[in-house]
């Protein structure tokens, strides 16, 4: 009979478990663009020119960059930390799911107790543990008695109102947000490395330009000295030429600071000390690749930071159900059974068995409005999470539009700057020949040289900006990532069991 009643209770609990209080989550609606404003009137990439998923940096065709990028996933400590935080969130999912199941325990104890004659004190194992309340004088001591106990306990709280389910939903959404944070961190680190690398190569190009400029200024100084020695040029022309040479030499030396700092930054990104990192100087031959922006309506599915905000909203929604479940009573089914005897030899025999079984129903009748306040707090937190999601989504569109506009304008600027460089070089040749012929002063040569150098340096700077903005656009588009790459709720519960090799504790 008792077993039948227990079965009925468990079945009823299972039926009631189908109910979960609180609102079911629906993805918040956001304003989505149908097309990018800054993508119009600009050359589109060919359909086959897709960003390579994961290794998007290979589109730039730089082998050194490819080698450096491969080291980020294996050695970057910020990435290792983010991965560990994801496993931590995964373990919380597994812990929340454990509340679906009963808790079973066992304990064993052996005690020996007795009582003093006159005082009525009870002794156990030689220690006084209490006294009798009888006023009758007891002149003799009781015989010590033994008690051996081996109880097994089991308890289970059916998820009548969906509190456990909502908790699992919350922790799974948090774990998915942590996984998206990991991917967002990975994308940011790869993009930062690419941008630092291109800036370093631009410094190398500027250094090459200054080396060539110093050589040109040295020849100009020699020409001016020759003109001065034959009485054609004034002493002031020699001083000006020498000053111009020395200034260019100082600028070339100063570039060493920027290059060293960029090399150190790259070392940190690949998990090395600055002393272990050395990048050889090499000419910059890459050009910004054509990057397909894709459909604006798909952007929110390709940004891991947007996925983070959306999953945080899902977790906040589940928290409402957890708060509302506190209004309803909780049912606990518990049972205990085992062996208890005063004789060790008869401890584990059938006559020493005992058992107990019973439910416990608990409900809070008055809490001064605490539950209502907690529910209000949960709803406000959800509203804040939704607003944050929409703000992150809008910022994502802005990010893409900013970089599309920058690349479109920079492409036109680079073409115009290339024409300016040609014109400045031609003007320098003409003025230099005129100076040799004695028809213009050396001031004209200095002006022409400064103009030519400034235009060449601007051309290099524009190329560097185009490369770094190309990386920024890839990052803004999600780097080939998709929200389909997020682990499922079931996968989040097991990720903590498989840490990467670099996270294993040292033995």
Cα–Cα dist 9/1, whole Å: 12
H or E segment to which residue 122 belongs? strand 121-124
- Give Cβ neighbours of residue 307 (< 8 Å, ≥ 6 apart): 176, 177, 180, 183, 483, 486
- DSSP code at position 283: -
Cα–Cα dist 170/315, whole Å: 4
Cα–Cα dist 57/475, whole Å: 11
The pLDDT, as a whole number, for residue 7 is 44
H or E segment to which residue 130 belongs? strand 127-131
The pLDDT, as a whole number, for residue 501 is 63
* DSSP secondary structure letters along 395-422: HHHHHHHHHHHHHHHHHHHHHHHHHHHH
| Sign for the pseudo-dihedral over CA of 141, 142, 144, 150 | negative
**Residue pLDDT, tens place only, 210-225:** 999 999 999 999 999 9
Q: Could you say which architecture CATH assigns to the domain 18-100+158-328+375-503?
A: Up-down Bundle (1.20)
For 385-422, letters b (16+ CB in 10 Å) and e give bbebbbebbeebbebbbebbbbbbebeebbeebeebbe
| Sign for the pseudo-dihedral over CA of 209, 214, 219, 221 | positive
User: What are the two backbone dihedrals, phi and then psi, of residue 327, each rounded to the nearest 5 degrees?
Assistant: -75, -15
What are the helix and strand counts (H, E) for the chain? Answer: 9, 7
The pLDDT, as a whole number, for residue 133 is 47
Reduced DSSP (H G I as helix, E B as strand, rest coil) percent helix, strand, coil of the chain, to 5: 60, 10, 25
For 482, left (φ over 0), alpha (ψ -120 to 50), or beta?
A: beta
Cα–Cα dist 142/382, whole Å: 67
How long, in residues, is the chain?
507
CA angle centred on 211, ends 206 and 214, rounded to 5°: 120
User: What are the two backbone dihedrals, phi and then psi, of residue 11, each rounded to the nearest 5 degrees?
Assistant: -65, -40
Residues facing residue 422 across a β-bridge: none
Contact between 151 and 169 (Cβ < 8 Å) = no
- Give Cβ neighbours of residue 137 (< 8 Å, ≥ 6 apart): 118
- Give Cβ neighbours of residue 84 (< 8 Å, ≥ 6 apart): 499, 503
**Residue pLDDT, tens place only, 416-451:** 999 999 999 999 999 999 988 888 888 999 999 999
Class of residue 201 by CB neighbours under 10 A (exposed 0-12, middle 13-18, buried 19+): buried
List helix spans (H) across 288-339.
Answer: 304-324
Contact between 198 and 471 (Cβ < 8 Å) = yes
Cα–Cα dist 24/14, whole Å: 20
Cα–Cα dist 112/144, whole Å: 7
- Give Cβ neighbours of residue 365 (< 8 Å, ≥ 6 apart): none
Domain regions of the chain by residue span:
18-100+158-328+375-503, 110-148
H or E segment to which residue 146 belongs? strand 145-156
pLDDT < 50: residue spans in the chain:
1-17, 42-50, 119-137, 505-507
* DSSP secondary structure letters along 32-60: --SS-GGGTTSPPPPTT-PPPSS-GGGGG
Q: What is the largest CA-CA distance in the chain?
A: 139
The pLDDT, as a whole number, for residue 51 is 55
**Residue pLDDT, tens place only, 453-474:** 999 999 999 999 999 999 999 9
Class of residue 55 by CB neighbours under 10 A (exposed 0-12, middle 13-18, buried 19+): middle
Contact between 323 and 381 (Cβ < 8 Å) = no
């Amino acid at each position: 009979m008792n077993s039948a009643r227990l079965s009925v209770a468990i079945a009823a609990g299972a039926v009631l478990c189908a109910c979960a209080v609180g609102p079911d989550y629906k993805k918040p609606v956001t304003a989505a663009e149908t097309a990018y404003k800054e993508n119009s009137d600009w050359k589109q990439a060919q359909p086959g020119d897709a960003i390579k998923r994961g290794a998007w940096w290979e589109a730039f065709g730089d082998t050194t960059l490819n080698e450096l990028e491969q080291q980020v996933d294996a050695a970057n400590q910020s990435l290792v930390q983010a991965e560990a935080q994801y496993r931590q969130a995964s373990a919380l999912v597994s812990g929340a799911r454990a509340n679906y199941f009963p808790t079973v325990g066992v304990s064993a104890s052996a005690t020996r107790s007795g009582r003093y004659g006159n005082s009525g004190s009870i002794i156990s194992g030689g220690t006084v543990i209490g006294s009798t309340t009888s006023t009758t004088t007891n002149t003799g001591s009781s015989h010590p008695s033994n008690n051996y106990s081996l109880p097994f306990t089991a308890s289970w709280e059916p998820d009548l109102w969906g509190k456990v389910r909502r908790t699992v939903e919350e922790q799974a959404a948090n774990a998915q947000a942590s996984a998206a944070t990991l991917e967002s961190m990975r994308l940011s680190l790869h993009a930062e490395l690419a941008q630092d690398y291109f800036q370093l190569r631009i410094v190398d190009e500027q250094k090459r330009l200054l080396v060539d400029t110093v050589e040109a200024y040295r020849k100009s100084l020699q020409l001016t000295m020759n003109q001065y020695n034959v009485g054609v040029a004034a002493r002031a022309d020699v001083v000006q030429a020498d000053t111009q040479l020395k200034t260019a030499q100082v600028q070339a030396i100063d570039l060493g600071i920027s290059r060293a700092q960029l090399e150190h930054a790259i070392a940190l990104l690949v998990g090395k000390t600055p002393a272990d990192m050395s990048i050889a100087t090499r000419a910059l031959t890459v050009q910004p690749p054509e990057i397909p922006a894709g459909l604006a309506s798909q952007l929110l599915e390709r940004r891991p930071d947007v996925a983070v905000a959306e999953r945080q909203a899902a977790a906040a929604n589940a928290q409402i159900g957890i708060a509302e479940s506190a209004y309803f009573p909780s049912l606990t089914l518990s049972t205990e059974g085992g062996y208890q005897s005063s004789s060790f030899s008869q401890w584990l025999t059938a006559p020493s068995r005992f058992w107990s079984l019973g439910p416990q129903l608990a409900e809070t009748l008055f809490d001064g409005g605490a539950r209502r306040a907690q529910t209000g707090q949960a709803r406000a937190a959800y509203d804040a999470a939704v607003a944050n999601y929409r703000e992150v989504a809008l910022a994502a569109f802005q990010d893409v539009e900013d970089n599309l506009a920058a690349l479109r304008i920079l492409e036109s600027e680079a073409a115009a700057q290339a024409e300016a460089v040609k014109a400045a070089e031609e003007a320098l040749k003409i003025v230099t020949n005129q100076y040799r012929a004695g028809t213009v002063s050396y001031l004209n040569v200095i002006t022409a040289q400064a103009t030519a150098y400034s235009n060449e340096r601007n051309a290099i700077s524009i190329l560097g900006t185009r490369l770094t903005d190309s990386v920024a656009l890839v990052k803004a588009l999600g780097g080939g990532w998709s929200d389909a790459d997020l682990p499922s709720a079931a996968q989040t519960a097991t990720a903590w069991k498989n840490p990467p090799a670099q996270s294993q504790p040292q033995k």
